[in-house]
Structure 1
Amino acid sequence: MEPLVRVEWDGPVAGLTLNRPARHNSLVPELLAELLDALADLRRRPDVRALVLQAEGRSFSTGGDVRRFYEQGDGVYEYASGLVGQLNRAVQALLDFPVPVVAAVHGIVTGGSLGFVLAADVVLVAPEASFTPWYNVVGFSPDGGWTALLPALIGPRRAAEVLLRNLTISAREAVEWGLASRVVPAEEVRAEAWRVAAEIARLQPGSVRRTRRLLRAAWGDVAARLETEHGEFCAQIVTDEAREGMRRFLGEG
Structure 2
Amino acid sequence: MTPSGAKVETALRDGVFRIWLSRPERHNALVPELIADLRAAIVKAGEAEPVALVLSGRGHSFSTGGDISGFLAHAGSLKELRTYAEELVGGLHDAILDLLAFPAPVLAAVNGPVTGGSTGLMLAADMVAMSERAFVQPYYCEVGFAPDGGWTALLPDRIGTAAALRIQYLNERIGAEKARALGIADSVRPLSQLEAEIDAWTSAIGQGFGQTHKATRANVWDAERLGAVRHRLDREKDRFLDLIARPETLSGMKDFGKKRA
Other-structure match for 2:234: 227
Other-structure match for 1:142: 147
Q: Among residues 53, 56, 79, which one is paired with 2:55 in the alignment?
A: 53
* Cα distance in structure 2, aligned partners of 1:60 and 1:190: 14
SS in 2 for 1:159: helix
Residue by residue, what CA displacement relative to the aligned partner does 1:132-177 show, whole Å, maximum 9, x if unpaired? Answer: 0000101111000000000111111000000111111111111111
Other-structure match for 2:252: 245
* 1:16 equivalent in alignment to 2:23: no
Q: Among residues 108, 113, 122, which one is paired with 2:113 in the alignment?
A: 108
Q: Among residues 21, 41, 44, which one is paired with 2:44 in the alignment?
A: 41
* 1:208 equivalent in alignment to 2:213: yes
* Cα distance in structure 1, aligned partners of 2:218 and 2:177: 28
Contact kept? 1:13, 1:198, Cα under 8 Å: no
Letter of the 1:180 partner, please give it.
A
Shift of 1:239: 0.4
Letter of the 1:179 partner, please give it.
I
> Kindly, what percent of the aligned residue pairs are identical?
39
Contact kept? 2:45, 2:53, Cα under 8 Å: no
Other-structure match for 1:151: 156
Q: Flag structure 2 segments of 5+ consecutive residues without an equivalent.
A: none
Structure 1 window deviating more from structure 2 (181-190 vs 94-103): it is 181-190
* Alignment map for 1:140-179 (pairs within 5 Å): 140-179=145-184
* Cα distance in structure 2, aligned partners of 1:214 and 1:154: 22
Q: Among residues 31, 34, 47, which one is paired with 1:31 in the alignment?
A: 34
Letter of the 1:154 partner, please give it.
I
Shift of 1:9: 1.6
SS in 1 for 2:156: helix
Contact kept? 1:18, 1:55, Cα under 8 Å: yes
Shift of 1:2: 4.2
* Cα distance in structure 2, aligned partners of 1:9 and 1:198: 14
* Alignment map for 1:64-143 (pairs within 5 Å): 64-73=66-75, 74=77, 75-143=80-148
Structure 1 residue runs of 4 or more that deviate by more than 6 Å after TM superposition: none
* Cα distance in structure 2, aligned partners of 1:145 and 1:4: 22
Residue by residue, what CA displacement relative to the aligned partner does 1:159-201 show, whole Å, maximum 9, x if unpaired? Answer: 0000111111111111111111111221111232133123212
* Cα distance in structure 2, aligned partners of 1:219 and 1:136: 29
SS in 1 for 2:145: coil
Contact kept? 2:117, 2:147, Cα under 8 Å: yes
* Cα distance in structure 1, aligned partners of 2:200 and 2:66: 30
| TM-score normalized by the length of structure 1 | 0.95
Letter of the 1:66 partner, please give it.
I
* Cα distance in structure 2, aligned partners of 1:149 and 1:125: 19
Shift of 1:247: 1.1
Structure 1 window deviating more from structure 2 (125-134 vs 191-200): it is 191-200
Q: CA RMSD in A?
A: 1.5
Letter of the 1:38 partner, please give it.
A
SS in 2 for 1:124: strand
